[in-house]
Amino acid sequence: MTKRIVVVGAVAAGMSAASQAKRRRSDAQLVVFEKGSDISYGACGMPYNLADAERSIEDLAVLTPQQAIEERGIDLHLRHEVTHIDREARQVVVRNHDSGEDHSEPYDALILATGARPRTLERLPHMDHERSLVLRTLQDGRKLKPLLHKDARRAVILGGGYIGLEMCESLQRRGIQVTIIEKTPQILPGWHTETVARVMEELKDHEIAVHTDETVVGAEQAEDGSLAALVTSSQKIPADLVLTAVGIQPNAELAAAAGLRIGASGAIWVNQYQQTSDEMIWAAGDCCEAYHRILRKNSWLPLGTTANKQGRIAGANASGESLRFRGIVGTAGFKVFDLEVARSGLSLEEARKEGFEPVMVTIRQRSRGHSFPGGAPVYVTLFADGPSGLLLGGEIVGKDGAVLRINTLAAALAAHLNVADLQGMDLVYAPPFAPVWDPLLVAANQLIKKIGK
């Protein structure tokens, strides 16, 4: 009998999973239900698309529904939402949003890729205004882009995380004045103060106003119904556009209602084979947790690259393989104007919470050899466990060669190396790319001195 693999969600992990399963087992029937109208798009590319007036937002699509059906042999159903999982009967209830009707679909294997949704402030006065938007889906981009073409002049971005920071440059390029509001005492919550200081400098150099420690009270509407201002507990900021980027939460309700185990993070629990607590149900992407190699337990750090990896593994395993997800180490990077910013590993706070005794240094070193023009300072913050020397994490920030350097640390963290191992690494030396002592080696040298071994 033909194996029937049902996938819930077709945005990132879902489509990876379905494609992988079909590729490995061409005789299987791959049925994908997606409640929205879009599949597989590069959400992380949205800020760069929005910055470019000439480019269609539809460019972000990486695969069309037609390609999924015709080239990949996937039985794809858009605007079909899975509303219930009957684990006993191995079937799901699907609502067709066009006809409004429900029907049941059997499965031999089920893959959940329900993603995450943005936290919103819509409950606050006027925050549901048509010019108060979130930025998550391609559909959100479709709403926002025309506003940038028209009359937007002053925007307030709620949330000083990296999506908010990336949007600063995009909006400013479109001639829009930007203010960031962050409710905690610093932008980039969880990042080290040295990195935050560099980012704040860069924002200041580009005339972005930043207000931290501010709570949003609501928006204010003019008499003609237009958006007039964003109101916080301490001030009123004139604005004709409000973008909310205050984080996301996992779409785990469907799984929870079916009695699947939900992790401490609120996302679906999975083992390293992307299996949920039901052995015939797999999960992948932003809806579920990911094994963290340093913590040696699950964590929830939703990112596109993890979603793609988990999707492939869930798809392969649902089709009969037994691949293991190696796990994340917390790598992330972004660009804010000319500044490159990246991290990998735990934050100091996470490390302390786990019982480590982190010792830290921040160093400054040129990105290139001193004989080569065009370099810039690179700041490396590195920390390790004092008693054992185990590397725990680091941050790199600078205007040249900062982000790509984080992968060396990511590799070291994945291999559970200690700071002496990093110090001894044979990293490339060539004046156009790196000084004799690469910034990472300088950081390791200094950290070893501080740890005293």
User: What minimum distance in Å lies between the beta carbon of 326 and a second copy?
Assistant: 3
Measured CA to CA, the distance from residue 47 to residue 322 in angstroms comes to 37
| 346 lines the binding site for a second copy (CB under 8 A) | no
Q: Count the residues of the shown chain that bind a second copy, applying the rule CB under 8 A.
A: 66
Nearer to a second copy, 13 or 187 (CB): 13
Measured CA to CA, the distance from residue 398 to residue 317 in angstroms comes to 41
| 37 lines the binding site for a second copy (CB under 8 A) | no
DSSP symbols for 44-72: GGHHHHHH-TTS-GGGGBSS-HHHHHHTT
| 412 lines the binding site for a second copy (CB under 8 A) | yes
* Of positions 335, 346, 347, 398, contacts a second copy by CB under 8 A: 335
| 424 lines the binding site for a second copy (CB under 8 A) | yes
| 438 lines the binding site for a second copy (CB under 8 A) | yes
Which positions are catalytic? 44
Nearer to a second copy, 64 or 277 (CB): 64
| 222 lines the binding site for a second copy (CB under 8 A) | no
| 384 lines the binding site for a second copy (CB under 8 A) | no
Tokens describing residue 334: 């972004």
Nearer to a second copy, 333 or 358 (CB): 333
User: What minimum distance in Å lies between the beta carbon of 174 and a second copy?
Assistant: 16
Nearer to a second copy, 129 or 192 (CB): 192
Nearer to a second copy, 16 or 114 (CB): 16
Measured CA to CA, the distance from residue 58 to residue 316 in angstroms comes to 30
User: What minimum distance in Å lies between the beta carbon of 314 and a second copy?
Assistant: 15
- Contact between 407 and 427 (Cβ < 8 Å): no
| 76 lines the binding site for a second copy (CB under 8 A) | no
- Contact between 34 and 156 (Cβ < 8 Å): no
Nearer to a second copy, 105 or 437 (CB): 437
User: What letters, b where the CB count within 10 A reaches 16 and e where it falls short, cover 400-439?
Assistant: ebbbebbebbbebbbeebbbeebbeeeeeeeeebbbebbb
| 309 lines the binding site for a second copy (CB under 8 A) | yes
| 433 lines the binding site for a second copy (CB under 8 A) | yes
- Contact between 115 and 124 (Cβ < 8 Å): no
Q: Interface residues for a second copy in 351-370 (CB under 8 A)?
A: 369-370
CA distances for 372 relative to 195, 401, 438, 443, angstroms: 25, 14, 14, 21
* Of positions 156, 255, 281, 329, contacts a second copy by CB under 8 A: 329
* Of positions 20, 331, 418, 446, contacts a second copy by CB under 8 A: 331
**In 285-357, where do the E strands start and end?**
290-292, 297-299, 332-336, 339-345
| 62 lines the binding site for a second copy (CB under 8 A) | yes
| 293 lines the binding site for a second copy (CB under 8 A) | yes
* Of positions 88, 207, 225, 436, contacts a second copy by CB under 8 A: 436
Nearer to a second copy, 225 or 373 (CB): 373
* Of positions 13, 60, 85, 267, contacts a second copy by CB under 8 A: 60
Measured CA to CA, the distance from residue 58 to residue 193 in angstroms comes to 38
**C-alpha closest to that of 314 among 92, 114, 106, 73:** 114
The alpha-helical segments, DSSP class H, found in 126-245 are 138-149, 162-173, 193-205
204: number of Cβ within 10 Å? 11
- Contact between 391 and 417 (Cβ < 8 Å): yes
68: number of Cβ within 10 Å? 24
Tokens describing residue 134: 């979130």
| 300 lines the binding site for a second copy (CB under 8 A) | no
Per CB under 8 A, the segment of 54-62, 214-222, 244-252, 380-388 that binds a second copy is: 54-62
Q: Give residue 124's identity as a one-letter amino acid code.
A: L
Non-local CB neighbours of 437 within 8 Å, separated by 6+ positions: 365, 445
Q: Interface residues for a second copy in 392-411 (CB under 8 A)?
A: 401, 403-408, 410-411
| 453 lines the binding site for a second copy (CB under 8 A) | no
Residues that bind a second copy (CB under 8 A): 42, 44-46, 48-49, 59-60, 62, 293, 303-306, 308-309, 325-335, 340, 342, 344, 369-373, 401, 403-408, 410-412, 414-415, 417, 420-421, 423-434, 436-438, 440
